[in-house]
Amino acid sequence: MKIIRSIGEVPHPPGSIGFVPTMGAFHEGHLHLMRTARQQNETLAVSLFVNPLQFGPKEDLAKYPRDFDRDSALAEAEGVDVLFAPSVEEMYAAGLAATVSIPALSNIWEGAIRPGHFDGVATVVTKLFHIVRPTTAYFGLKDLQQCMVLQAMVESLNFPVTLEFEPTIREADGLAMSSRNVYLETFQRRAAPTIYQELVRCGKAIRLRNTSVDAEIEQSKSALHQAGGLVDYFDFVALPSMRRLRNYAESTALICAVRFGSTRLIDNLLL
């Protein structure tokens, strides 16, 4: 495995290049993306970059978990060919005279609570696509809105790359794996699986169609509140627009963001 720190040294071998962009602190979710990309491509590139542009001023940029030696050993074990791990200075040396924005999808849900977040994601992913030049890039459905934002970006702006979205990898008790789970106190970690339980319960009820979507959502919000969570949103949306929906239809999802103390967890369920 080649560890590359500078943009000019990223190789562009012939044949298919699978690419997994990450912020490190690898867990089974990241490793699943790497395994899938490894099986489907001649070359596997992974980026490890904690992108300051997608963090708000009050967010966890400084304390975001970082362990390069552990991550690089895990990447090596998954058969990664190129690990691109630039510094912030290297990535943003050229400045930010241009950024990428997808207004139709970036200002709702996560975007409403985290202004500028998806512009930061879209801008860094654009830069990474230009640097790595992948044929296929792999993202986790755990970040469903991110997937919809990037799909819209790639289609609207004719990026020569295919996006593959992979299912959410969960702990045995249903909690979606996340680098941020390490912030949870023991009592919060015990309560956090309520998120997935409520997504599943609410999803089943909505699919049966003999209930009001509003009533089921209210029931889930109250169960999460009882478990000690502060619900930023818990809602039912159409895909890929992410617009609020009140009747069961094709291509829909339940989405939610719940805070346990200062730790904010997001999850979703495709229905």
Contact positions vs ligand AMP (CB under 6 A): 22-23, 29-30, 32-33, 139-140, 142-143, 166, 168-169, 176-179
Read out DSSP for 205-232? HHHH-SS-HHHHHHHHHHHHHHTT-EEE
143 vs 235, beta carbon nearer ligand AMP? 143
Comparison of 176 and 245: residue with beta carbon closer to ligand AMP: 176
Cβ neighbors of 17 (< 8 A, separation 6 or more) are 41, 42, 43, 44, 45, 132, 133, 134, 135, 136
Question: What per-residue string of b and e applies to 5-36 under the rule 16 or more CB within 10 Å gives b?
Answer: eebeebeeeeeebbbbbbbbbbeebbbbbbbb
Using CA atoms, how far apart are residues 162 and 138, in angstroms rounded to an integer? 9
Of 106 and 178, which CB lies nearer to ligand AMP in the complex structure? 178
Nearest distance, CB of residue 138 and ligand AMP, angstroms: 7
CA neighbor of 175 nearest in space, from 151, 191, 158: 191
- 3-state SS, 97-115, equals CCCCCCHHHHCCCHHHHCC
- Which two structure tokens, joined as six digits, stand for 234? 């818990």
Nearer to ligand AMP, 150 or 213 (CB): 150
- Which residue's Cβ has the minimum distance to ligand AMP? 140
Pair 140, 166: CB distance under 8 Å = yes
What is the CB-side half-sphere exposure of residue 195 using CA atoms within 13 A? Answer: 31
Which is nearer to ligand AMP, 108 or 124 (by Cβ)? 124
- Residue 30 catalytic? yes
The minimum distance between CB 172 and ligand AMP, in angstroms, equals: 13
Nearest approach in angstroms of CB 28 to ligand AMP is 7
263's tokens: 């730790």
Closest CA to 24 of 180, 192, 141: 180
Of the pair 32, 264, the CB lying nearest ligand AMP is at: 32
The answer to whether the bond into 57 is cis (omega within 30° of 0) is: no
Sign of CA dihedral 257, 139, 170, 84: negative
From the list 12, 27, 30, 225, the catalytic residue is 30
* CB 94, min distance to ligand AMP, A: 22
| Minimum separation from the CB atom of position 177 to ligand AMP (A) | 4
Q: How far is the CB of 165 from ligand AMP (least distance, A)?
A: 8
Q: Which residues are catalytic?
A: 30
